[in-house]
Structure 1
Amino acid sequence: MELQKQDMDVGMTIENNEIYSVLDEAIKADPKMGVPNDFSLYPFDISVNPDGSRSILFLAINRLKDPIKNITFDMTFGNKEGEYIYENEKLVLTEDEFGILNPDSAIPFMLDVTPEQEQLFNRLTKDNVHLEMANFKMDVEE
């Protein structure tokens, strides 16, 4: 489990932040989370923001042999029936914001959802979920 660079810069730690603590425990419970020898996403849960709005909390998981940074891709996420929460959503995980994602580690990020999108998220199961990444690009840290 890694902190986003921007969170680390303001003194946040896994221990002093509830979201990071929960994610760290989930990763410790399932250390093989993610796709072996690949970059993958894990939609973790709905998070309630301080202003009352809601976001989906995702884990970006690096199971590659190299550290990676400046990750960009288009994500489609929803169910196999074609109901999508996000469709071709362009995501950019920059080194400035997220830092470097080391091998066998994960970093969280959040995407805002409407109440309708949250309802669809809550109906997803491992059997009906559809998560696709296209136009994937990344830099490998030397």
Structure 2
Amino acid sequence: MEKEKQAVAMQLLKADEANGVTLEDEMYQQLAGLVEANPDIGVTDDFSIHPIDLVDTKAGESVLLFIGINRLEKPIKNIKFEYTTGVKTNGSVDYVFDREEVSLSESFAGVIQPGHAIPFTIPVTEEGGALLQLMTEENKVVKLENATFELEE
């Protein structure tokens, strides 16, 4: 019998907390609404990432906003992985990210508690942003490889 998934709660990034951001911040409130509306989000007994949206930063840079979801039974930290995503067209793949190295260090993200999610972003080029607009369930290519993290005892 599969255990029922508990709803996920948003967790403040350590870097945001250091800058005076709170869970009442608009972005955190929107993400909290998203995870509350999708209680099945994330992979049971694993850490997973979920792309949310292409957003523009205050500095005018385009970034892809993600949430990282800890559905393990222990807190985790110092997460690293390579992320690939692209669009399949005519037998080839146009990449938005090709083995992009992502590091969610403890100094940036903190220790992610079980049943919690954190936001993070990856910068996107103009071409990458255009490709994301063309992406569908049928033509998308997504890979998360060489993932490592530390369990907190």
Do Structure 1 and Structure 2 share a fold, with TM-score over 0.5? yes
Q: Scaled by the length of structure 1, what TM-score is found?
A: 0.92
Q: Secondary structure at the match of 1:64?
A: coil
Residue 121 of structure 2: aligned partner: 110
SS at match of 1:83: strand
Q: Which residue of 1 aligns with 2:4?
A: none
In 2, the alpha carbon distance for the partners of 1:24 and 1:47 equals 17
Distance in 2 of aligned mates of 1:97 and 1:29: 27
The corresponding residue for 1:8 is: 17
Give the Cα separation in 2 of the matches to 1:75 and 1:134: 7
AA aligned to 1:140 is L
Query: Computing the radius of gyration over CA atoms, which structure comes out larger, 1 or 2?
Result: 2
Superposition RMSD on alpha carbons, in Å? 1.3
Q: In the alignment, what sits opposite 2:78?
A: 70
* Structure 1 counterpart of 2:145: 134
- Give the distance between the partners of 2:16 and 2:57, measured in 1 at CA: 15
For 1:12, the aligned partner's letter is V
Q: Is residue 2:35 matched to residue 1:27?
A: yes
Q: Distance in 1 between matches of 2:48 and 2:88?
A: 18
C-alpha displacement at 1:70, in angstroms?
Answer: 0.3
Equivalent of residue 88 in structure 1, options 99, 113, 122: 99
Report the number of matched residues. 141
**SS of residue paired to 1:7:** helix
Deviation for aligned residue 1:30: 0.5
Aligned to 1:56: 64
The answer for unaligned runs of 5 or more in structure 2 is 1-9
**TM-score for both structures, normalised by structure 2:** 0.86
In the alignment, structure 1 segments of 5+ residues that lack a partner are none
Q: State the identity %.
A: 38
Deviation of the 1:125 alpha carbon = 2.1
Alpha-carbon deviation of 1:56? 0.5
